[in-house]
Amino acid sequence: MPKANRRPLILASRSPRRRLLLKQIGLNFLVRPSTVDERFHDHESPRSGALRIAEEKAMDVAGRFRRGIVVGADTIVVVGREVLGKPETKREARAMLRKLSGRTHIVYTAIVLVDVETKKKTSEVARTKVQFRKLTTEEIALYAASGSPMDKAGAYGIQDDYGAVFVEKVDGCFYNVVGFPLSRFHRAYEKLLRELHR
């Protein structure tokens, strides 16, 4: 359990999975989604791009408060040299799933915590390898048609839906693939609280 904190914790995300994971470790928090454009820039590395977007989300929401610790997070999927964000259409979701089929991809999640009053920040980035089995055309079509891929980087969810059966192997943090690496978050949160209590 993180140390007692009198500052409100604010999650700068509308992700239901991130909310569930924070509740899982017993934290109370507010949800205030950011309005930041989550577009990845071609010149960025996956790690630096995820960090930039997570920080922009945290700072965007921090500007709306006088007090509190804001958590920004961003998850991206990389297959080969291509970065896959959230699909905008079911057709795009099908195309992403075809790219992932039978291959190993990398999931990056960056977490940035910002204290509103002091502007102190800390961050963590998790990296996990995920191996997909070969998917059939029918599986891809049915999963895309369900709408489930539409709010997920890489067009699949490992945690609570049919996307879980696509995954053969995970090398690294499982919760990173869900979109919020709890161990990295805990480390960053504890570090920031220690700095604020000095």
Which residues are designated catalytic? 74
Pull the structure tokens for residue 163. 């996307």
Q: Three-state SS for 7?
A: coil
**Residue 122: which of 135, 132, 112, 130 has the closest Cα?**
112
Residues 6+ apart with CB under 8 A from 137: none
Give the chain's largest Cα–Cα span.
57
Of 171, 65, 169, residue with least CA distance to 118: 65
Distance CA 29, CA 9 (A): 5
